[in-house]
Structure 1
Amino acid sequence: MRCEAAVTGIGMITPAGLTTESTWAAVCGGRSTVRTDPDLAGLPVDISCRIDHFDADALHGRRLARRLDRFTQLALAAAHQAVRDAKLDPSAWNAPRVAVVLGVGSNSLHSYFHEFDVLNQGRPELVSPLALPRSVPNMAAAEVAIALDARGPNFTVASACASGATALAVAADLVTSGACDIALAGGAESGRSRMTVTGFHQMHALSQRTDAPHLASRPFDVDRDGFVLSEGAAVLVLERPQHALRRGAGQRARLCGHACTSDAYHPVAPHPEGIGVEHALRTALEGAGLAPGDIGHINAHGTSTPTGDVAEARALQRVFGPEPPPVTAPKSILGHALGAAGAIEAALTVLTQQHQLIPPTANLLRQDPDCELDIVTQAPRAAAFGAAISNSFGFGGQNTVLVFTAE
C-alpha cells in the first residue's frame, strides 16, 4: 500500500505574482520575469527575478515585519495563503499535531551585509540585536509556527537548491508515519544579495546576458550560459488523507512518492551522467508504486547551466526511454530561487496536474541535441495524465524527486 499525503492547500509568492493564482497565470503566459535589478547596480551581473509590490508592513504589521528578514517575510505570507486555501483555522486545529518543515538554502545575506558594514566602520554598538535571530535559517519555520500556533515538529531542511523539495519529502514522511496530522511544508529564499550574486558570478554559474535580461534564462537551449538568481516562497499543506476527508477538505493532489539521493561526486558539479538523479527517479517511482510509463509530465530542475541540463536530460532518457513525457522548466520564467525553487516547482506541478495544462518553457530557441526531451514551448499544452514528477537538485550532489498523483 502506498503512503500518501494529501495536498490540501498552496500558497505562493514569486516574481510572477503575489498569489498562487497570479503566479500560475504568469507562468502559463510564458514570459520571463528577468530584469535589470537596481539593487545590483555596478556588479558584473546586474539582473535578477525580483518580487515587486510585496508590502511586508501591510501583511505582517510593521513591528513583526521589522523583526523578519525578507526570506522569512515571504515564507510567512505563503504559509498564511496556504492555510487559507486549505480552509484551516489555526485557532481550532490540534496544534501539537501540526508540523512546519521549510527548506532554506542558506542563511540570509541581506541582513548580514548591512550589519557587517556597520561593524567594519568600528561601530559594534550599532549592530542590531536582531541581526542573528533575523537571519539564521531556522527562523522561517520558527516564525510560521509562532504566527500560526503550530506546535508539532518544527525544523529547517538545507539541501542547497533541493531544499524546498526535500522539506516536502520530510514532511510527507511525518504525515504518513502518523507523527502529525498536518504539515506546512515548502521553502523560502531571497538570493538577490550582492554577495550571493558576486559569489555565483565568480563561479561562472550565472547568465551573462545583462543586455537582454528576458532572454537570459534558457534551459536546454544550445546557447544557455547559466541561471538567473531569484527569490520567492511556496508552502503546501500536507495532511493525512483520512484527516482531510474527515474535515471535508478538497484535495488538490497526493504526494505519493519521493526520493532523496546524493551524487557523492563533486561539491558543485553534477555527475555528468546524472547517476544520482536516475537513482532518485527510480526510487521515487518505486515508492509510489508506479512505472515510468505512468508518468505524464515532468517538471525539470532545468537551471540553464551547460552541465546541469545535460546531466538531467541523460537521466530522464535512461529512465523514460527515447520518448520521455512532456517536460517544462519554470526557471526559464521565474529564475532560480535556490532553496525555495523546489517548493515553488512542486506547487506548479500540482497545478499542472489539476488543470491538465503544461506551462511552456521560455527562451528555448534551439534545443541542445544532447537534451533530447519533449519540451513544451511557446504556449501551454493540454494533456491528460494522472501522475507527474518534480525534480530538484543542488550543490553537493543533492537530488530530490517528488511524485504527485490525482486524488
Structure 2
Amino acid sequence: MRWKTLDDMEMGGKTVLVRVDINVPLQDGQVSDDTRIRRIAPTIHDILAKGGKPVLLAHFGRPKGKPVAEMSLRVTLPALEAALGRPVTFVETPSRAGLDALPADAVVLVENTRFTPMEEANDPQMAQFLASLGDIYCNDAFSAAHRAHASTEGVARLLPACAGRLMAAELAALEAALGRPARPVVAVVGGAKISTKLDLLANLTRKVDQLIIGGGMANTFLAAQGHGVGKSLCEHDLADTARAIMAGAAAAGCEIILPSDVVVAEAFAAHAPHQVMAIDAVPEGGMILDAGPETVARITAAFAQAKTLIWNGPLGAFEIAPFDAATVAAARAAAKLTQSGNLISVAGGGDTVAALNQAGVADDFSYVSTAGGAFLEWMEGKTLPGVAALEITD
C-alpha cells in the first residue's frame, strides 16, 4: 500500500483542506486533554512552512446532523492556538472567496462538519462543496478514517490528496506490525468479551505466530476447554465460537496462549481478598480478575522471542488494584524490549492506552494509537475508506 505524504505535494500559494481529529474532552467548558490537538501541530506547521494555507475540517461530539451550540468547535480555539503558537481564524460558514481574502499564512478552523446530515451520509454535494474550498486535501485523522464521510472520503477523491504527518506515522506503524512484520509476531488481545472482537481474533490467527488472550474474554476460551471459571465474566453461549477460533488458529499454525494460573477474588472491588491459583482450581464462587505470575512469565518469554508485538486490551481488571499487576508487568517487559531495540511494539485502543499510561510505558512503545475504532478495524483486516481514498493506484 502506498500513499502520498506532505513531502510529495507542492503547496506554495495553495489552500490545503486538512481533516483533523480534535474531538477532545472538555471540563467546565475548557479542553481538559489536548493530546489530539498537539499531535496535529507538526502537520499544520509543515503546511505553513511549504507556503500553504491550512483550513482545518473536524467533527466534535455527536450532533446528529444539526447545529448544537455546545458542540461547536469554537471551544477548542484556545487550546489549538496554544499548541500552534499562533492565532486561528474560526469560520462558521466558509466560502472560497472568504478563505482567499485571509492572509497567506492564516490557519483556519471550520465549524463542526457534523452540523449537517450530509457529512455522515457522504453526500456528493457536500464533498463537492468542500473540494471547492481548497486546492489540496490532507487527511491527518486516522481515527476517523474508518468512516466514509464527506470530509474523510468524499472530498479526498476530488482533490490531490495526501496523508498528514500523524496519519502517515500511524499507517507506517500499522504496516510494520501487520502488513510486512518482522517475525515472530505476537499479539495480545484482552478485554471483556470475545463477541466484540470476533473479526479481530479471526484475522489475527491468520497473521500472527502467537496470540495471547487475556481479560474477561480469556474466561470464555477457558470455559470452552472445560475449565470451571466460577462466577467470572464469561460468555458461555460462545463456547462453540471459541473452539472454532482455536481450531482455526491451530490450522494456521498460530499458538494461542491462555492463562495457566489466575488471580481469583470473591468480589469485584479494589483490594478485595484474593489468591493465585491454577486454572483448574477456581471455586464456584470465585471470580477471575487477573492473570497469575506463571502466565505473566510465559507471556514475557513470548515477548522475548518475538520481533513484533501488537497489543489491544488489558490482561485483567486493570482499573482496580491489585488486578492490574499482569497488565503492568507485561507492558513493562514489552517496553524494555522495545527500548533495547529488540521489539517493534504497536498498541492501540482506549483501555490499552490507559493501561500503558498506568504502567508508565506509553512513551516507550514503538507506536501507541489513540484511534480506537479505526485501529481495531485495521487489525480486523477491513478496508478503511479514508485510507483507501489516499492510496496511489498507478
What is the TM-score with the length of structure 2 in the denominator? 0.26
Higher helix proportion (structure 1 or 2): 2
